[in-house]
Amino acid sequence: MSATYNSVPVSIVISTFEEGGALASTVRSVLSASYVPAEVIIVDDGSTDGSTERDWPPNVHVLQQEHSGIAHARNVGAEIASQPILVFLDAHCSVDQNWLLPILGVLESVPDALVGPSVRDAREPGFAGCGAQIIDPLFTYRWSQSDNYGVREVGLVPGGCIAVRRECFLGDGGFAPFREFGLEDVDLSLRWWRAGHPLLGAPQSHIVHCFRTHAPYRPEPQAWVENVLHTALRHLSGERLRSSVRRCSQFESFNAAIAALLAQPWIAGHERIEMSACRTINGYIEQWAPRAWTPYALAAKRG
């Protein structure tokens, strides 16, 4: 791999599954920026559309794996990355010319941070979000409006673009073993905050994300319900846990999802989080999600 004069010590990790031409457009955008990452690692999560079968530039590396979901694919990319900074980027994004510099600046001054940029919706470019907050027991999150000023604490770093030092990410265990996609970013942010590390938004770093109403493949509903339940079991207890489980029970795939999840060693994951935590989930919810569980917890008590 030959580094250019404006190469920066970053490994971009892109998990892709049936992304078609969006993947090549994303890579092209990254490599056309003013500061080019030392390497781009594409982890093909079992695509059948041929989107990774092309002549890529020398600093773009493609790994193939059986379809295992975004969390596993990103972990694989992080393991083989050669650079000290990881940026996990969705395969349907475009980036501004100087997008990497603010992120690198944050990680230089706050090495243990999890960092996200300002993100615009390709369909509604008038709104930019930087960081997010959980708003309900299903861990749905709402973007916080970007002010384009200084670095700020956020309640959650959404998964479309996450920057972190590789040694910190791997030291924390990477993404949890979630299925398909969804909630892996929520779980990572919760673990990060509870371990005492900062969640930061860098609003002067800009990317555009294609938020889709329909994925280019058929998602598996049970997988998403499993991921919600997995997150709840890893982090919650008492009435909040009951509220999240009750909300999940409204979905048709609930019985299969809870049966599959309970057959997994989720208790060990919960115990590891509790052992490494220096801040409580109650403290997180009070600060960052004060209304997410309130009405559902009350309903659960009445029930």
Domains of the chain as residue ranges with CATH: 8-209 (3.90.550.10), 221-297 (no CATH)
Is the separation of the CB atoms in 200 and 110 below 8 Å? Answer: yes
The per-residue pLDDT for 6 is 83
| φ, ψ dihedrals at 288, nearest 5° | -115, -15
User: Could you tell me if 63 and 72 are in contact, meaning their C-beta atoms sit under 8 angstroms apart?
Assistant: no
Per-residue burial over 94-112, b if 16 or more Cβ lie within 10 Å, else e, is bbbeebbbbbbebbeeeeb
Note whether 292 and 285 are within 8 A (CB): yes
- The Cα 52–Cα 24 span in angstroms is 8
Q: How far is CA 16 from the centre of its chain?
A: 14
> pLDDT value at position 301?
44
- In sequence order, the β-bridge partners of residue 143 are 132
Tens-digit pLDDT profile for the chain (303 aa)?
Answer: 344 458 999 999 999 999 999 999 999 999 999 999 999 999 999 999 999 999 999 999 999 999 999 999 999 999 999 999 999 999 999 999 999 999 999 999 999 999 999 999 988 878 899 999 999 999 999 999 988 789 999 999 999 999 999 999 999 999 999 988 889 999 999 999 999 999 999 999 999 998 876 666 677 889 999 999 999 999 999 999 999 999 999 999 999 999 999 998 888 989 999 999 999 999 999 999 999 998 654 454 444
Separation CA 199–CA 151 (nearest Å): 10
Closest of 61, 77, 69, 42 to residue 217, by C-alpha: 69
Helix (H) or strand (E) holding 166: helix 166-171
Token representation of residue 27: 């890579």
CA dihedral for 232, 233, 236, 239, sign (positive or negative): positive
Length of the chain: 303
Q: Amino acid letter at 252?
A: E
